[in-house]
Amino acid sequence: MSEGEEEKKMKSEIISISLSKALLDKVDGIQQERSFASRSEVIRHCLQTYSKDLEQSARADETVGVYIIGISYYSGKTKPGDIQDIIKDFSNDVVSTNRIKVSQSVTMLLYIMKTNINIASIFFEKLSAIKGLIDKKLFSLKVSI
């Protein structure tokens, strides 16, 4: 690559954007919290991070991993059918289910999935919407498959 081509590559294009007051306040907060030199630097960093996240997300569809999803709920406030309906939709991905009766009124469910992160996340979000939920966690295991 010639010096002229390198210079062109290094030059930045200037763009202008408008931000709402709330978003601008967040940018200013990030700037102070992380000691960025300017708002522009914060916005560049955020765009680079977002771009990397999109690339990783695209690759996540192709990568199979093992995920553990745990939920605990009040037994009296949650309908077992609600949970079963969700599990049916993901039956090809759930490889193991464990039910633990923590107390008279609290039950914990652990699901082990072999799938990609996008499917595991959708399953997790659907379980998270169950009425009577106390807590929820999604764990990823580094396993070569």
pTM more than 0.85: no
Gap between the Cα atoms of 44 and 15, Å rounded: 11
In a domain, 9, yes or no: no
Give 51's pLDDT tier (boundaries 50, 70, 90): confident
Do residues 89 and 36 share a domain? no
The closest of 138, 79, 141, 140 to 107, measured between CA atoms, is: 79
Domain CATH number, residue 71: 3.30.70.1150
Range of the domain at 120: 65-141
Query: Over 80: is that where the pLDDT of 80 sits?
Result: no
Two tokens, residue 29: 């907060």
pLDDT tier, 64 (very low <50, low <70, confident <90, very high otherwise):
confident
Indicate whether 39 and 89 sit together in one domain. no
